[in-house]
Each structure stands twice: as structure tokens, then as C-alpha cells.
């Protein structure tokens, strides 16, 4: 199994990244997995200790995600782009820290709940069950 959940996604939309001049960065992405489920994922990259690379993802129930797409009058396949565009204000933050990326992930999951979408959390772990979010 890969360390980053986003490695298995398609139709990926980039939401935001933490300051890339740091030894540890986070990327927040949205896309579909091979089961055609909507996935919002944080990938942590530790360039000094790659063993600590990990991911945390919210995997949205397909039926709920399709209902949300219809509610917003968009094709299901365009949902990642739609979510990335809705969160565009977060990309305007200069030198965002790791907490900024976590806060954006939290805002997205709160929006999903407001939309009536059920989701489950999936994680990949670093050593000693280290988790990134």
C-alpha cells in the first residue's frame, strides 16, 4: 500500500499546500478513488524523515456525493474541480502553515456534513502509528 492516499486518485484537484520551503509540507487534494468515491485528502511529506510520510482522507459516500453534485447542478465528474474552486480563498494565504491546511480540511468536512454527505476517515501511518491529521 502506498504511503499517500492521493497516489491512487484520478481527476485530482489541488486545493492548497503548506509553505514548500519547509522540511515538512502538506498538500490538500480532492479527487476520485478507483471505486469512484469522492476523496478529500491531506498528504504529509517529511523530507528529512520520509518514514513519517502519511495521509488522512475523508472518503465520501458515493450516493451522497452524487446528490450533492445534482444539488449544485454539476456533473459528478466535475465535483473535485468544483470543490477546489470553492476553496480558492485558501490558496491566497501567503506561506500557509500545516495548521492552515488542517483548518481547510476541517472546513471542507464541515461543509460535507452540512450538505448531508456521509464520509469515513482513512489514514496511512508513519512509524509508531504516527498520523498527520
Cβ pair 30, 89 in contact under 8 A: no
pTM: 0.91
State how far the Cα of 117 lies from the Cα of 113, in Å rounded to an integer: 5
> What stretches of 1-133 adopt beta strand conformation (E)?
10-17, 24-32, 38-46, 54-60, 119-124
Q: Which residue has the cell 490558496?
A: 91
55 has which bridge partners?
A: 43, 124
pLDDT digits (tens, 9 = 90+) for 90-127: 988 988 999 999 999 999 999 999 999 999 999 998 77
Cβ pair 25, 18 in contact under 8 A: yes
pLDDT digits (tens, 9 = 90+) for 27-49: 999 999 999 999 999 999 998 98
Select from 25, 15, 13, 8 the least CA-distant residue to 105. Answer: 15
Amino acid at each position: 500500500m502506498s504511503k499517500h492516499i492521493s497516489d491512487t486518485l484520478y481527476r485530482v484537484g489541488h486545493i492548497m499546500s503548506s509553505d514548500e520551503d519547509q522540511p515538512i509540507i502538506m498538500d490538500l487534494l480532492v479527487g476520485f478513488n478507483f471505486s469512484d468515491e469522492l476523496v478529500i485528502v491531506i498528504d504529509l511529506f517529511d523530507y528529512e524523515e520520509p518514514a513519517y510520510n502519511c495521509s488522512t482522507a475523508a472518503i465520501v459516500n458515493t450516493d451522497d456525493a452524487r446528490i450533492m453534485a445534482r444539488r449544485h447542478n454539476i456533473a459528478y465528474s466535475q465535483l473535485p474541480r468544483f470543490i477546489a474552486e470553492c476553496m480558492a480563498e485558501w490558496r491566497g494565504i501567503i506561506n500557509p502553515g500545516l495548521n492552515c491546511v488542517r483548518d481547510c480540511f476541517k472546513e471542507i468536512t464541515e461543509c460535507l456534513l452540512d450538505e448531508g454527505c456521509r464520509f469515513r476517515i482513512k489514514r496511512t501511518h508513519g512509524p509508531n502509528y504516527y498520523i498527520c491529521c
